[in-house]
A and B are shown apart, each in its own frame.
Chain A
Amino acid sequence: MAYLTAFLTGARRTLAARGDLSTQVGMMLLVILALSSVWHAAAVAHGGHVGAYTFGELVWYITFAEACTVPVPARVIEDIGEEIGSGEIAVAMLRPASVVGIRMAIDTGAALARQWCCLLAGGAFAWLLAGPPSAGAATVQAVGVAFLALLLSIALQHALGGIAFWLNDARSTWFLFQKLILIGGGVLIPLNLLPHAVASIFIPLPFAAIAYVPGSFAAGHGSWGLVIGQLCWLIVGFGTAFLVFARGERRLEVLGG
């Protein structure tokens, strides 16, 4: 019950902050516009296709990849690090519920509200730019995969943020995570368009499960193998986040009051 309340609180807070929400959605639309212009130029130069993708498929790929990364800003890692570093987390530890569980429930509620806004606005924009989704009915699967991607991103960010229990400062980790998602996760370029050797390194990694997998489903190039990989990373991500916080909370020492 506590987790459901935390989830709903996160969602309500996000929907109430209309200025922030519209800025985020506006930025996402701008990114879709810029990236779709890039891929349009590439597709025109290559007879309408880039690798296995048509222009329309690339636009839907970008839309879903963005809608899985924009709603969970990588700064979450910095926030967690600051809460741990400043000792603020000690207050949350007084509650009769898991610190990381409540935190993740709030973040999931907030991120899901943002993701739906991004998918609705981004989907309408992508439709305008490139017509209906090329995946057809499979777009519904893409929405489900996008939710799993969101959960994985939250779990991984909490696992990384928890490093602050040992280092006292995990602020820089968010930056590394963001860059890994951009290139290694396939936000900017679908991973199967990379040179084969590079793609075979990135595709099995969790970053690909956050952006490349939902993007592929939206473009009609998804496979159940990718979803199985995503589910495996989800288990590893949540397991690691809970383990890191459980160990970290035991060694936390807060001075002062």
Chain B
Amino acid sequence: MRSALATLGTAFADGKANRASFVFQIVLMAVNDIAWIVFWGLFFHRVGTANGWTFHDVIVMFSLLTVVAGIGLGLFANCRRIGRMVADSSIDEVLVLPVRPLGQLLCRRVEPTNLGDLVFGVILFLAAADPTPERLLLWTACVLLGVCVMVAFLVWVGSFTFFVGGRGEHADLGFNALLLLASYPLDFFGGPVRVLLFTIVPAAFITGVPVSLMRHFAPGQFALIVAAAAILIALAWSTFHLGLRRYSSGSLWMR
């Protein structure tokens, strides 16, 4: 744990080294998030409410998604690059260290762009999502569980590269699908797509179910997110370590 935290600190300092670029990238991502809020503002201005969702619900949804993405993709940036790292053997650098490889891999790189999401999401929640102490506590719990779901899912799909080869294209598709589907209200989807969001692409546990919880707390729903996070973490951990047993380096870093 201590080594992971030290690595994270070093990665953060590395990202911050070029201060102007660091701040600029944070601002760019905030502008991106604002563009989405503008879209939803225009949409709900036109339609009022749709499938029980209002503009306020979308604000809560985006505050959750941006903070989850900010922490998951910003602080544990390598979670979406596992497939590529396996393909080009760059995980070798971690395998020779006397630490647990998965934790070390996840903490090695900080992505400043996504830290803009983190800042934006916190401000959005505090400014526009009725932050009472109870709501803040629930929102924080949902964010932490959402981070577990997102990071574990990305490690899981990235670890498929150990078995199926390729350059991690399937992981990229999984990443894009998760982020895209999590940025739309869950109740807009029906039938097989809804089933997909609770299973293969677990976007519902990052935004849809948490928004529902923020409206009316239901212990059963909360337990569902906890269970989903636990199952995904177990899947990610076991798939990654089973994959490591099969892994044979391309020795790219030795060339």
Chain A interface residues (CB < 8 Å from chain B): 19-20, 23, 26-27, 30-31, 33-34, 37-38, 40-42, 44-46, 50-51, 172, 175, 179, 182-183, 188-189, 193-195, 198
B53: chain A residues within 8 A (beta carbon):
41
Least Cβ distance of B208 to chain A in Å? 12
**Per a CB cutoff under 8 Å, which of B35, B188, B189, B193 touches A183?**
B35
Q: Are B180 and A31 neighbours in the complex by a CB distance under 8 Å? A: yes
**Per a CB cutoff under 8 Å, which of B31, B42, B176, B189 touches A37?**
B189
Q: Are B166 and A188 neighbours in the complex by a CB distance under 8 Å? A: no
A27: chain B residues within 8 A (beta carbon):
173, 176, 180
Which applies to chain A's interface (DSSP): helix, strand, loop or mixed?
Answer: helix
Q: For the complex, what is the distance from the CA of A44 to the CA of B185, rounded to whole Å?
A: 15
Q: For the complex, what is the distance from the CA of A133 to the CA of B190, rounded to whole Å?
A: 23
Q: Which residue on A lies nearest to B176, using beta carbons?
A: A27
Q: Are A19 and B166 neighbours in the complex by a CB distance under 8 Å? A: yes
Q: Which residue on B lies nearest to A20, using beta carbons?
A: B169
Can you list the 5 inter-chain pairs with the closest CB atoms, starting with the nearest?
A41-B50, A42-B47, A37-B188, A41-B188, A41-B51
Q: For the complex, what is the distance from the CA of A23 to the CA of B168, rounded to whole Å?
A: 11
Q: Are A23 and B169 neighbours in the complex by a CB distance under 8 Å? A: yes
A50: chain B residues within 8 A (beta carbon):
46-47
Q: Which residue on B lies nearest to A46, using beta carbons?
A: B47
Q: For the complex, what is the distance from the CA of A179 to the CA of B32, rounded to whole Å?
A: 7
Q: Are A195 and B45 neighbours in the complex by a CB distance under 8 Å? A: yes
Which applies to chain B's interface (DSSP): helix, strand, loop or mixed?
Answer: helix
Q: Are A45 and B50 neighbours in the complex by a CB distance under 8 Å? A: yes
User: B167 within 8 Å of A by Cβ?
Assistant: yes
Least Cβ distance of B191 to chain A in Å? 10
Contacts beyond the supplied A45-B49, A51-B46: 16 A-B pairs with Cβ under 8 Å: A20-B169, A27-B176, A30-B176, A30-B181, A34-B180, A37-B184, A38-B184, A42-B43, A42-B47, A45-B47, A46-B47, A50-B46, A172-B28, A175-B32, A183-B35, A195-B45
Least Cβ distance of B37 to chain A in Å? 11
B43: chain A residues within 8 A (beta carbon):
38, 42, 189
Q: Are A189 and B47 neighbours in the complex by a CB distance under 8 Å? A: no
Query: What 0/1 readout, one digit per residue, does chain B (165-179) give for beta carbons within 8 Å of chain A?
Result: 011010011001100
CB pairs A–B below 8 angstroms (11 shown): A19-B169, A30-B176, A34-B183, A42-B50, A46-B47, A175-B31, A179-B31, A179-B35, A183-B38, A183-B42, A194-B42
Contacts A45-B47, A172-B24; is A182 near B35 (CB within 8 Å)?
Answer: yes
User: B48 within 8 Å of A by Cβ?
Assistant: yes
Q: Are B48 and A45 neighbours in the complex by a CB distance under 8 Å? A: yes
User: B163 within 8 Å of A by Cβ?
Assistant: no
Q: Are A37 and B193 neighbours in the complex by a CB distance under 8 Å? A: yes
B130: chain A residues within 8 A (beta carbon):
none
Q: For the complex, what is the distance from the CA of A170 to the CA of B35, rounded to whole Å?
A: 21
Question: Residue among B42, B48, B183 with the most chain A CB within 10 A?
Answer: B42
Q: Are B50 and A182 neighbours in the complex by a CB distance under 8 Å? A: no
Q: For the complex, what is the distance from the CA of A189 to the CA of B24, rounded to whole Å?
A: 28
B177: chain A residues within 8 A (beta carbon):
30
Q: Which residue on B lies nearest to A37, using beta carbons?
A: B188
Q: Which residue on B lies nearest to A42, using beta carbons?
A: B47
Q: For the complex, what is the distance from the CA of A33 to the CA of B184, rounded to whole Å?
A: 11
User: B14 within 8 Å of A by Cβ?
Assistant: no
Q: Are A182 and B39 neighbours in the complex by a CB distance under 8 Å? A: yes
User: B93 within 8 Å of A by Cβ?
Assistant: no
B45: chain A residues within 8 A (beta carbon):
195
B42: chain A residues within 8 A (beta carbon):
183, 189, 193-195, 198
**Per a CB cutoff under 8 Å, which of A19, A34, A42, A189 touches B39?**
A189
A193: chain B residues within 8 A (beta carbon):
42, 46
Q: Are A188 and B50 neighbours in the complex by a CB distance under 8 Å? A: no
Question: Residue among B47, B53, B184, B187 with the most chain A CB within 10 A?
Answer: B47
Least Cβ distance of A70 to chain B in Å? 12
Q: For the complex, what is the distance from the CA of A195 to the CA of B42, rounded to whole Å?
A: 8
Q: Are A19 and B167 neighbours in the complex by a CB distance under 8 Å? A: yes
Q: For the complex, what is the distance from the CA of A67 to the CA of B172, rounded to whole Å?
A: 20
Q: For the complex, what is the distance from the CA of A188 to the CA of B42, rounded to whole Å?
A: 10
Q: For the complex, what is the distance from the CA of A38 to the CA of B181, rounded to whole Å?
A: 11
**Per a CB cutoff under 8 Å, which of B46, B48, B180 touches A30?**
B180
Least Cβ distance of B158 to chain A in Å? 15
Q: For the complex, what is the distance from the CA of A34 to the CA of B201, rounded to whole Å?
A: 13
Q: Are B172 and A23 neighbours in the complex by a CB distance under 8 Å? A: yes
Q: For the complex, what is the distance from the CA of A126 to the CA of B183, rounded to whole Å?
A: 21
Q: For the complex, what is the distance from the CA of A183 to the CA of B33, rounded to whole Å?
A: 12
Contacting residues of chain B (37-95) with chain A, CB-CB under 8 angstroms: 38-39, 42-43, 45-51, 53
Q: For the complex, what is the distance from the CA of A31 to the CA of B35, rounded to whole Å?
A: 16
